Structure 1
Amino acid sequence: MFFVILGRLVNINALFRETRLVKIHSLHIYPVKSLTGIQVPSFEMDDFGPKGDRRWMIVDADRNFATQRTFPELAKITTSVVDGCVSIRIPGEGDFTLKATDEELRVLVWCDWVKAHEGEAAASEALSRFCGKDLRFVYMSDSSFRRVDAGRVTEYRRVGFADGFPFLITSLASLQELNGRLEIPVDMRRFRPNIVVEGAAPWQEDHWRKLKVGEQYFDIVKPCSRCVLTTVDPDTGLKDPGLQPLRTLSGYRRTADGVIFGQNAIHESSGIIHVDDSVTVIESE
């Protein structure tokens, strides 16, 4: 539909698309890497990213990080945070509060050897029984420093045990577009974002470079390449035998960076963001 506005012929539908309100739909933190996340109404950001996000991790006997890629049943272990303490519930084992000991060790997450503190034995022993493998919880203290990928971020920035960057931003519209291609829809938990936005067009986030979220600023630094973890059902802890939704994404979302869903980001300063905060694109390609 076209109207003449101030002497110009304007496509009203296009104008609406350009001015649609983009805002935060939901916020999520993951106290333990690869365990269930927690949806929150707001979160504070510190030097690592979302406060408390992925400061705990699971390692095997070789001190190499363990995730749902190898142990999909980890999806069934829930987490909670009360008074700053992380608690987990392991099916058939019970509830445990994670506590770091003074025992230091170096652990491997992807290509990074990182200083960590071993967790108390009770939770690790219960986890090992649940997974049938010798596993341990480890904690990254404030004194440990793991650098964000220097090939993508020239500033000397840190990150916790997240795969590579402090934040993952995804779009509700992109998930809806993907689900239109799937026989069985999936929910956003498969993609483990920190910030989910609504109001953008599908895949519009591919072109974002800088955002203002509420009063905070974020730089988009790398598209997020997806792996078999997206094929794990977060309710059952079982992998989809047809490798969905990864197989469908591979058919039309493959780039030089991999099969893409979502964008990795870093924050410019500490602060707080909330659900329903506006999201303004400051810079795009």
Structure 2
Amino acid sequence: MSQGWSAAVGVGVGVGVGALVAWAWRRSALPPDSWEEVGVVSELVVYPLKSGRPLYVQEAEATEHGFSVGPHRDRSFIVILKEGSLVTGRQKPKLTFVTVKIDGETATFEAEGAEGHAKVNLQMVTQEGEARDADIFGAPVKGVDCGDEVSRWLSEFLYQGRREVRVLYRHPELDRRVARHEEREFPQILDTDKVIYADVSPYHLITESSVEELNTRLEKPVKGNRFRGNIVVRGSKPYDEDDWAYVKIGEVVFRMLRPCDRCSFPTVDPETGTKDPAKEPQQTLKAYRILKSPEKLAKLWATSPLFGTILGIDTCGTVSVGEKVLVKRISRNPKWRYWR
């Protein structure tokens, strides 16, 4: 890890370079490439609809595209405006109220405060649905249109019928989006990394201790669901996840691609469907979790505080709540790089 990155992370999380040195000294008896236990999985979360309500599960299949629980696959549906632009909870916080439940070949869309519900026959959609192009923050994606019933229902719920939205479903035969390279600054992102409709990567990890530490700085504490992690870890030190190059849960091995730079989405309370008027916790995070160096990354993330990590996957398999979380550390593997 470069001196610039190490110092920047140290200042950002309040542990400092000296603490990183102390970590390395305390672990000097361990082989540099050994696994270290840091905590346990406290939550596993699947988001069938991008920006929609979460599905909390006790066990999930970790696939190359993200978590899968039966027919529910992480972020396999998206909402777009008729002209093709993406709709997320950033623009429409009420989208966080929308639940997708799949039974057999039927996906049911419903939401707190919405009138009625909408059903989608997934078999019919995948066989006969119209293929559409869309865009996820500059990355082109494809999907099949889920039809007029869910379009009318969701248009009414989100826009009172004044604008038309369409719901797209990931068709297994359409091209799959490869995780974005961000101008190839992040060598841990490989051409083989795949994703459906998540922003950058199929897995996002947060820790309970980092949320708890953040809450000591806030007038109004927030819940971890503001950050929409797929994997939540209990028992680690605050922001220790910054130092995890690899994460192992059971036989599944994840690879850190880069820290997670935060947009305004955490200001949306998913329990009320509203944005925080004080723009919290984003404003507080900016006070101590903004990257200072290296210069190119600092410029890229000048207004985006870092919180949590985004992961690729090297070994697929089953993960469960309660399993031990093992890691290999960046600070003990000096040749490992977040960026080039």
Give me the TM-score of the superposition, normalised by structure 2: 0.75
1:183 aligns with 2:219: yes
- Superposition pairs for residues 95-134 of structure 1, below 5 Å? 95-98=117-120, 99=122, 100=125, 101-132=128-159, 133-134=163-164
Matched positions, count: 270
SS in 1 for 2:177: coil
CA contact (8 A) 2:38 2:327 kept: no
2:204 equivalent in structure 1: 168
2:234 to 192, 198, 203: 198
Residue 97 of structure 1 and its aligned partner are, at CA, apart by 3.0
Residue 20 of structure 1 and its aligned partner are, at CA, apart by 6.7
Residue 212 of structure 1 and its aligned partner are, at CA, apart by 1.0
- Superposition pairs for residues 215-254 of structure 1, below 5 Å? 215-254=251-290
SS in 2 for 1:35: coil
Q: Supply the AA of the counterpart residue of 1:30.
A: Y
% same residue: 30
- Superposition pairs for residues 50-69 of structure 1, below 5 Å? 50-51=67-68, 52-69=73-90
- Aligned-residue Cα RMSD (Å) equals 1.9
Distance in 1 between the 2:196 and 2:172 partners? 10
Q: Supply the AA of the counterpart residue of 2:178.
A: R
2:180 to 149, 163, 186: 149
CA contact (8 A) 1:211 1:283 kept: no
Cα 1:157–1:284 shift into 2, 3 Å: same
2:114 equivalent in structure 1: 92
SS in 1 for 2:156: helix
CA contact (8 A) 2:133 2:143 kept: yes
Structure 2 unmatched runs, 5+: 1-25, 31-35, 292-297, 332-340
Residue 155 of structure 1 and its aligned partner are, at CA, apart by 3.0
Which segment drifts farther, 249-258 or 167-176?
Answer: 249-258
Which segment drifts farther, 66-75 or 249-258?
Answer: 249-258
1:139 equivalent in structure 2: 169
CA deviation string 1:179-201 (max 9, x = no partner): 11111111111100000001110
Distance in 2 between the 1:246 and 1:198 partners? 23
Which segment drifts farther, 139-148 or 203-212?
Answer: 139-148
Distance in 2 between the 1:115 and 1:174 partners? 35
Structure 1 unmatched runs, 5+: 1-13
Residue 84 of structure 1 and its aligned partner are, at CA, apart by 6.7
Residue 236 of structure 1 and its aligned partner are, at CA, apart by 1.2
> Structure 1 segments of 4 or more deviating over 3 A?
18-21, 81-86
Cα 1:222–1:21 shift into 2, 3 Å: closer
CA contact (8 A) 1:205 1:263 kept: yes
1:11 equivalent in structure 2: none
Distance in 1 between the 2:245 and 2:213 partners? 22
Q: Supply the AA of the counterpart residue of 1:42.
A: E
